[in-house]
Chains A and B, each alone.
Chain A
Amino acid sequence: MSAPLQDQGPPLLRVEGVRKYFALTKGILFTRTLGHIKAVDDVSFDIRAGETLGLVGESGCGKTTTSRMILNLEEPTEGRILLEGEAIHGLQGDALRAYRTKVQAVFQDPWSSLNPRMKVGRTIAESLIVNAWGDRAAIDERVRELLVQVGLRPEQAQQYPHEFSGGQRQRVALAAALASRPRLIVLDEPVSALDVSIRAQMMNLLKDIQAKDDVAYLLVAHDLATVRHMADHTVVMYLGKIVERAPTAALFDDVRHPYTKALFSAVLEAWPGQAAEEIELKGEVPSPLDPPSGCRFHTRCPYVMPHCSQREPALREVSPDHFVACHLFE
């Protein structure tokens, strides 16, 4: 399942040293810049064709921002993102349109992902229409095919989103993402808004489609169990930085970074009385506006050392293909 990264050809998507700072202009009144939110701060990773990269971390750590940059909805402040070796930011016209067919997305909130005034068939067909993919009949045929593929009935193309349940909407959103036969789909928490029983259906569906279409996923999630079931590789972020990156199986076997450990131990197993070593973190997540110096985790880290607040740890390989950014591993 998880082959070492360097063994294969060029990655489908490469994220290189990307940063995103949001100027913080505060208040309705005070339109002055108070500082910059370092939403993403020097993040690099690869995604290979046909595989799934999981991106986990606490709320606000920059997962969505990263995925929005990959979707070319946001310009990185620094760094670049390459799809099949080609930088994606600054694309114009046809090149941009071509890019848009290759990278698609499904977002978290099924209630806001579909235009309530548009029939779902039209939503699914939209990327085909704007890219002049074919004539009307061909598009209709493809929409029917997609609906079936995601487990809906073809005639449901004529319905409006409010006639669907949350799980069905996520399926429609997935169908719309699949329409242009993309190479990569960014999945930003695609199941966290769904009920437990529906969530499993959606996860199975995603896996089935990947097996069939050979599409790569960037799966953003905060639920580790979901990532474990879905992802080949996992990246753990904390406050805009990558703290640990490894093949999923390796990571779940051997957690290294203290933050990742805390994260794992905070996951409440649906099995009473199982938690072995429980690390309860003290304090709050620091503000990305003014992140701690040195290692960003040092304010809450149970293993904090004096120099943690001075120097920022680099991401280093601690075992094959397993990277950790922590002074404990130097």
Chain B
Amino acid sequence: MGSKARVRRTARVPWIPIAIISVIVIMALFAPLLAPYSPIDQTLRDKLLPPAWMTGGSDKYFLGTDAFGRDILSRLIYGARVSLMVAVLALTVGGGVGLAVGIVAGYVGGAVDSVLMRLVDAAFTFPAILFALLLSVTMGQGLGTLVIAITLLLWASFARVIRGEVLSLRQRDFVALARVRGCSAPRIMLTHILPNVLNTFMVLVTLNIGVVIIAEATLSFLGAGIPPPTPTWGLMISEGRGRIADAWWVALIPGIAITLMVLSVNLFGDWLRDRLDPRLRQL
């Protein structure tokens, strides 16, 4: 008879991913306090030292040094900052645009919906990585370019999922009832639709942190990310990739950091989705 409050089995809280994410966030927030050295100061004499626990490693540099004798630990810590900053900015801008477009398209419908959805289709067709490359050569490399590029990569998928969600919300009686009570369309979108898609939005955000971090790294690899010497994890891998044979730690450590981070946010995101919105089907 009718739908009934579903009794939900909550998945186990993913403590390990949460711990990893917390460590990285703390690293990013307190980088100047935590990092033993400046991330860009070079000591060419100390270049390519292996991590402290290996033969030849120095106690001064726990995770070793890179080709310029920069402390990898410090770069990793500051790199977390940049990577997270890119993620936060891109997700705020891209996710925000996607959220707004999704809500408007889904709620208003009709021609507005068609036009917006064609734009979304266009965004999916447009090779975003390529666009990022293009932007980086037209506007120069930098945080702004990177954020714009990644925003372009993100907004459409946000818009699509949110719109789907709004379409089903719009069928719910409380939306019709809000109209009956005299709420205007913007008011309904803000007070009735928005709070109800926030869960979905949060899940999308978590699951896309990984996408952003990978995109940043890939663009750095292709030479279109944040310019050196500012450390980002992607750039660190990119700089060290030629040395896997002799100085593996230069690329492997940031590689592991990215993998751990993305793995953690994804596991966390999955859990969040199961908790908040188990029916949310997403990429």
| Chain A residues near B (Cβ < 8 Å) | 68, 71-73, 96-97, 100-101, 103-105, 107-118, 123, 126-127, 130-131, 162, 166, 173, 176, 179-180, 193-195
- Given known A112-B173, A113-B173, contact A162–B5 (CB-CB < 8 A): yes
B211 near A: Cβ within 8 Å?
no
> Cβ of A173 and Cβ of B2 under 8 Å apart?
no
- Looking at chain B's contact residues, the main secondary structure is helix
> Cβ of A131 and Cβ of B182 under 8 Å apart?
yes
Total number of A-B contacts with CB less than 8 angstroms?
Answer: 73
Taking the closest CB of chain A, its distance from the CB of B264, in whole angstroms, is: 28
> Cβ of A101 and Cβ of B180 under 8 Å apart?
no
> Cβ of B182 and Cβ of A100 under 8 Å apart?
yes
Nearest B residue (CB) for A162 = B5
> Cβ of A105 and Cβ of B177 under 8 Å apart?
yes
CA distance A105 to B174 in the complex (A): 11
Please name all residues of chain B whose beta carbon is closer than 8 Å to the beta carbon of A162 when the two chains form the complex.
Answer: 5
Taking the closest CB of chain B, its distance from the CB of A285, in whole angstroms, is: 23
Give me the 3 closest cross-chain CB pairs, A-B, nearest first: A100-B182, A127-B181, A117-B195
> Cβ of B2 and Cβ of A110 under 8 Å apart?
yes
Q: What are 7 sample pairs from A and B whose C-beta atoms fall under 8 A apart?
A: A105-B176, A107-B177, A113-B177, A115-B191, A130-B184, A176-B177, A180-B181
Nearest A residue (CB) for B181 = A127
> Cβ of A118 and Cβ of B192 under 8 Å apart?
yes
> Cβ of B181 and Cβ of A107 under 8 Å apart?
no
- Given known A73-B176, A112-B172, contact A130–B196 (CB-CB < 8 A): no
Please name all residues of chain B whose beta carbon is closer than 8 Å to the beta carbon of A130 when the two chains form the complex.
Answer: 181-184, 187
> Cβ of B176 and Cβ of A100 under 8 Å apart?
no
Q: Which interface residue of B181, B187, B196, B198 has the most chain A CB atoms within 10 A?
A: B181
CA distance A87 to B275 in the complex (A): 48
Please name all residues of chain B whose beta carbon is closer than 8 Å to the beta carbon of A105 when the two chains form the complex.
Answer: 176-177, 180
Please name all residues of chain A whose beta carbon is closer than 8 Å to the beta carbon of B260 when the two chains form the complex.
Answer: none
B178 near A: Cβ within 8 Å?
yes
- Given known A118-B195, A162-B5, A193-B2, contact A113–B180 (CB-CB < 8 A): no
B125 near A: Cβ within 8 Å?
no
CA distance A228 to B140 in the complex (A): 76
Interface size class of B (residues with CB under 8 A): 20 to 34
> Cβ of A104 and Cβ of B180 under 8 Å apart?
yes
Partner of B180, one of A71, A111, A195: A71
Please name all residues of chain B whose beta carbon is closer than 8 Å to the beta carbon of A113 when the two chains form the complex.
Answer: 173-174, 177
B179 near A: Cβ within 8 Å?
yes
Please name all residues of chain A whose beta carbon is closer than 8 Å to the beta carbon of B181 when the two chains form the complex.
Answer: 100, 104, 126-127, 130, 176, 179-180
> Cβ of B174 and Cβ of A112 under 8 Å apart?
yes
CA distance A100 to B180 in the complex (A): 6
CA distance A166 to B192 in the complex (A): 20
Taking the closest CB of chain B, its distance from the CB of A80, in whole angstroms, is: 19
Taking the closest CB of chain B, its distance from the CB of A95, in whole angstroms, is: 12
Taking the closest CB of chain A, its distance from the CB of B171, in whole angstroms, is: 8
> Cβ of A127 and Cβ of B182 under 8 Å apart?
yes
CA distance A11 to B177 in the complex (A): 24
Taking the closest CB of chain B, its distance from the CB of A90, in whole angstroms, is: 16
Which B residues from 256 to 278 make CB contacts under 8 A with A?
Answer: none
> Cβ of B195 and Cβ of A115 under 8 Å apart?
yes
Please name all residues of chain B whose beta carbon is closer than 8 Å to the beta carbon of A115 when the two chains form the complex.
Answer: 174, 178, 191-192, 195-196
B245 near A: Cβ within 8 Å?
no
B1 near A: Cβ within 8 Å?
yes
Please name all residues of chain A whose beta carbon is closer than 8 Å to the beta carbon of B3 when the two chains form the complex.
Answer: 109, 111
- Besides the known contacts A71-B180, A100-B182, 5 further A-B residue pairs in the complex with CB atoms under 8 A apart: A103-B180, A111-B2, A111-B3, A126-B183, A166-B2
Which B residues from 1 to 26 make CB contacts under 8 A with A?
Answer: 1-3, 5
CA distance A244 to B216 in the complex (A): 69
> Cβ of A193 and Cβ of B1 under 8 Å apart?
yes
Nearest A residue (CB) for B178 = A126
CA distance A91 to B195 in the complex (A): 29
Taking the closest CB of chain A, its distance from the CB of B92, in whole angstroms, is: 21
Please name all residues of chain A whose beta carbon is closer than 8 Å to the beta carbon of B173 when the two chains form the complex.
Answer: 107-109, 112-113
CA distance A195 to B198 in the complex (A): 32
Taking the closest CB of chain B, its distance from the CB of A194, in whole angstroms, is: 8
Please name all residues of chain A whose beta carbon is closer than 8 Å to the beta carbon of B187 when the two chains form the complex.
Answer: 130
Taking the closest CB of chain B, its distance from the CB of A223, in whole angstroms, is: 13
> Cβ of B179 and Cβ of A73 under 8 Å apart?
yes
> Cβ of B177 and Cβ of A97 under 8 Å apart?
no
Nearest A residue (CB) for B184 = A130
> Cβ of B180 and Cβ of A114 under 8 Å apart?
no
CA distance A112 to B176 in the complex (A): 10
Please name all residues of chain A whose beta carbon is closer than 8 Å to the beta carbon of B5 when the two chains form the complex.
Answer: 162
CA distance A72 to B183 in the complex (A): 13
> Cβ of A114 and Cβ of B179 under 8 Å apart?
no
CA distance A118 to B191 in the complex (A): 8
CA distance A23 to B183 in the complex (A): 27
CA distance A288 to B173 in the complex (A): 24
Taking the closest CB of chain B, its distance from the CB of A188, in whole angstroms, is: 9
CA distance A110 to B2 in the complex (A): 9
> Cβ of A97 and Cβ of B196 under 8 Å apart?
no
Please name all residues of chain B whose beta carbon is closer than 8 Å to the beta carbon of A110 when the two chains form the complex.
Answer: 2
CA distance A275 to B2 in the complex (A): 28
CA distance A112 to B177 in the complex (A): 10
> Cβ of B182 and Cβ of A116 under 8 Å apart?
no
CA distance A293 to B176 in the complex (A): 34
Please name all residues of chain A whose beta carbon is closer than 8 Å to the beta carbon of B174 when the two chains form the complex.
Answer: 112-115, 123
Please name all residues of chain A whose beta carbon is closer than 8 Å to the beta carbon of B195 when the two chains form the complex.
Answer: 115, 117-118
